[in-house]
Structure 1
Amino acid sequence: MNWITNYVRPKLNSMLGRRDMPENLWIKDPETGEMIFHKELEENQYVIPGSGHHMRISARERLKYFFDEGKFETLENPKVTLDPLKFRDEKRYVDRLKEARAKTGMDDAILTALGEVEGLPIVATVQDFAFMGGSLGMAAGEAIIKGFETAVKRERPLVLFAASGGARMQEGTLSLMQLPRTTVAVDRLKEAGLPYIVVLTNPTTGGVTASYAMLGDIHIAEPGALIGFAGPRVIEQTLREKLPEGFQRSEYLMKHGMVDMIVSRKELRPTIARLLKMMLKLPESEATDIPEVVEEAPAPAQRPETQAGAQA
């Protein structure tokens, strides 16, 4: 079989001029099973046209879609001590970091950038769930704090895109200490009179939800995002009760007053621009027309609890 697979088939393909099809040419909608052409999905900012399901995107893709003409300047993350606890489970923590960096091309789970949104200079901080579940450790905490400090220094609003499984367990108490530290950074931004908008993406859970992700002036959620402290499966096991359908999803939380609005990814840039101009009292003819829900996708079915790289 190996001889046929490794020699005969490639030989026949080369003779007939056949080429292997890329594996990622089509992407399957996790909700409906519909097959979507990858290029079409990319042009739609990775929002499934039929169901409105918002797929996860990388931090750099997020910034490219958010800033005017996709132009932005990234800030260098502060350097911190790697593996301060010499932690090891199935793998060494330093090996997990190497793998995450090779996979994402990022130093850690946070990417902060300077750019403009409809001509308004802002600072944007993005958590990338692909980097160890967007978990919050010392490096991520320092990067978030630097983003807030830069916003205060340059007198710019800050928009934070949260996506996390919680605190990074491999750093123990040092990870948990980032929660009060980032909270202080939020307070300093507000003392400077600068707006702070949080965009809650799928998933935003654990200690991140218990700190800076819920301290914004305005909280915007993407459709269908899982948002909460503990996951629904953990809550069900603790309470021994069946949770309501759609529990901890954006639509449920907005109905119960935990988020201010649900906005489709394609409408985030103009919506946030109008909000910021209103908050900064800048002239904007369209600033008075901000819908409560710009685009609401059909409420998704309860999906299995999202696996996170680390939970608080």
Structure 2
Amino acid sequence: MSWLTDIVRPKIRTLLGRKEVPDNLWHQCPACQQMIFQRDLETNLKVCPHCGHHMRASAKERLAWTFDDGQFTQIDTPRVPQDPLRFRDQKRYTDKLKDARDKTKLDDAIVVGHGLLGGRKAVVAAMEFGFLGGSMGAAVGEGIVAAAKLAVLQKAPFIMYTASGGARMMEGAISLMQMPRTTIAAQMVKEAGLPYIVVLSDPTTGGVTASFAMLGDIQIAEPGAMIGFAGARVIEQTVREKLPDGFQRSEYLYDHGIIDMISRRADLRDTLIRVASLLLPPVPVDVPVPPTSSDLAA
């Protein structure tokens, strides 16, 4: 450091009224390493305009992108015990929850909302990967059950966005019990004759994949999403074989008939509207009654 940087440069900036460039003005694509203007990235729904890489999105962003005009009503999910096992590793579980809540401004790793999708009632639940890796604990299970009950009550399709590393180890068997609970929730929607549509985003793994994530009437995935149960390295060590290129990516799963379709994020909302319209009766439209002669005379 010298007098040029310590004294002269600050004075020049003061005289010219120059402002510091915000740190979040540009974003680097993790796939192609190209720099993207933050405003352009938001306009493009967090998809790289250079290579088409679909970046991870927050739960509330997904709900806003799905509902008509981005308007929805978020519901409060049932409360659950904070730390039933009094778990602790390097940090206490309660401290990890507090840090995750401060970071995401959410109570847990799921957001449930209801509103209109293409003029039709819909219930949408989205997982928040930024909250402890989107791990599934009792709160996530309660959120999915509450969303399923609301869909049945409103006679609306249930759309589920998945983004998770699997079960939440800090809750032990309680977390594992959410697998059958969420499976029953999905079945409850189907028994009511309503569509259960799953959108698989990057990543969807572990106990989430082994339960409600793969039970949709229609399975839609975003391009390049990692979808699987165990990690590729664990599988290779188990079967002692080299896995094919692109294994556990949405394109590989589509080619092998595991998912129904791949939809770009820009087309996803229209795809959901089309799928819901195919699986449900048409939305009733109020047809105006033609005026009578007496009405015209009046």
TM-score by length of 1: 0.87
RMSD: 1.8
Matched, 1:208 2:186: no
2:220 corresponding residue in structure 1: 220
Letter in 2 for 1:218: I
Provide the C-alpha distance between the structure 2 equivalents of 1:125 and 1:45, rounded to a whole number of angstroms: 18
Provide the C-alpha distance between the structure 1 equivalents of 2:5 and 2:176, rounded to a whole number of angstroms: 51
Q: Does the Cα contact within 8 Å between 2:121 and 2:154 map onto a contact in 1?
A: no
1:263 corresponding residue in structure 2: 263
SS of residue matched to 2:82: coil
Matched, 1:150 2:153: no
Over 3 Å counting, the alpha-carbon distance change for 1:10 and 1:63 in structure 2 is farther
Matched, 1:77 2:88: no
1:289 corresponding residue in structure 2: none
Provide the C-alpha distance between the structure 1 equivalents of 2:135 and 2:114, rounded to a whole number of angstroms: 23
Provide the C-alpha distance between the structure 2 equivalents of 1:246 and 1:46, rounded to a whole number of angstroms: 22
2:288 corresponding residue in structure 1: none
2:287 corresponding residue in structure 1: none
Q: Does the Cα contact within 8 Å between 2:164 and 2:205 map onto a contact in 1?
A: yes
Over 3 Å counting, the alpha-carbon distance change for 1:232 and 1:21 in structure 2 is same
Please report how far the alpha carbon of residue 283 of structure 1 lies from its aligned counterpart in structure 2 after TM superposition.
Answer: 6.7
Over 3 Å counting, the alpha-carbon distance change for 1:103 and 1:8 in structure 2 is farther
2:164 corresponding residue in structure 1: 164
Please report how far the alpha carbon of residue 34 of structure 1 lies from its aligned counterpart in structure 2 after TM superposition.
Answer: 1.2
SS of residue matched to 1:144: helix
Provide the C-alpha distance between the structure 2 equivalents of 1:17 and 1:280, rounded to a whole number of angstroms: 60
1:186 corresponding residue in structure 2: 186
Please report how far the alpha carbon of residue 154 of structure 1 lies from its aligned counterpart in structure 2 after TM superposition.
Answer: 1.4
Letter in 2 for 1:125: A
SS of residue matched to 1:234: helix
User: How high is the sequence identity, in percent, across the aligned residues?
Assistant: 56
Provide the C-alpha distance between the structure 2 equivalents of 1:134 and 1:244, rounded to a whole number of angstroms: 27
SS of residue matched to 1:237: helix
SS of residue matched to 2:124: strand
Provide the C-alpha distance between the structure 2 equivalents of 1:118 and 1:152, rounded to a whole number of angstroms: 19
1:241 corresponding residue in structure 2: 241
1:91 corresponding residue in structure 2: 91
User: What's the CA shift string for 1:195-231, capped at 9, x where partnerless?
Assistant: 0000000000000000000000000000000000011
Over 3 Å counting, the alpha-carbon distance change for 1:6 and 1:236 in structure 2 is farther
Larger displacement relative to structure 2 (157-166 or 3-12): 3-12
Aligned length: 284
Letter in 2 for 1:32: C
Please report how far the alpha carbon of residue 105 of structure 1 lies from its aligned counterpart in structure 2 after TM superposition.
Answer: 0.7
Please report how far the alpha carbon of residue 26 of structure 1 lies from its aligned counterpart in structure 2 after TM superposition.
Answer: 1.4
Please report how far the alpha carbon of residue 22 of structure 1 lies from its aligned counterpart in structure 2 after TM superposition.
Answer: 1.2
Letter in 2 for 1:147: A
Please report how far the alpha carbon of residue 20 of structure 1 lies from its aligned counterpart in structure 2 after TM superposition.
Answer: 1.2
Provide the C-alpha distance between the structure 2 equivalents of 1:273 and 1:196, rounded to a whole number of angstroms: 13
User: What's the CA shift string for 1:140-186, capped at 9, x where partnerless?
Assistant: 11011100011111111100000000000000000000000111111
Q: Does the Cα contact within 8 Å between 2:120 and 2:283 map onto a contact in 1?
A: no
SS of residue matched to 2:54: coil
Provide the C-alpha distance between the structure 2 equivalents of 1:133 and 1:5, rounded to a whole number of angstroms: 42
Per chain length, whose mean CA-contact separation is higher, i.e. which structure has more relative contact order (CA < 8 Å, sep 6+)?
A: 1
Q: Does the Cα contact within 8 Å between 2:112 and 2:143 map onto a contact in 1?
A: yes
Letter in 1 for 2:93: Y
Over 3 Å counting, the alpha-carbon distance change for 1:167 and 1:5 in structure 2 is farther
Letter in 2 for 1:80: V
2:289 corresponding residue in structure 1: none
1:198 corresponding residue in structure 2: 198
Matched, 1:36 2:20: no
Over 3 Å counting, the alpha-carbon distance change for 1:8 and 1:105 in structure 2 is farther
Letter in 2 for 1:158: F
Please report how far the alpha carbon of residue 241 of structure 1 lies from its aligned counterpart in structure 2 after TM superposition.
Answer: 2.5
2:17 corresponding residue in structure 1: 17
Please report how far the alpha carbon of residue 7 of structure 1 lies from its aligned counterpart in structure 2 after TM superposition.
Answer: 7.5
Provide the C-alpha distance between the structure 1 equivalents of 2:281 and 2:7, rounded to a whole number of angstroms: 69
2:66 corresponding residue in structure 1: 66
1:138 corresponding residue in structure 2: 138
The gaps in structure 1 that reach 5 residues or longer are 285-312
Please report how far the alpha carbon of residue 5 of structure 1 lies from its aligned counterpart in structure 2 after TM superposition.
Answer: 7.6
Letter in 1 for 2:104: T
The gaps in structure 2 that reach 5 residues or longer are 285-298
Please report how far the alpha carbon of residue 18 of structure 1 lies from its aligned counterpart in structure 2 after TM superposition.
Answer: 2.1
1:105 corresponding residue in structure 2: 105
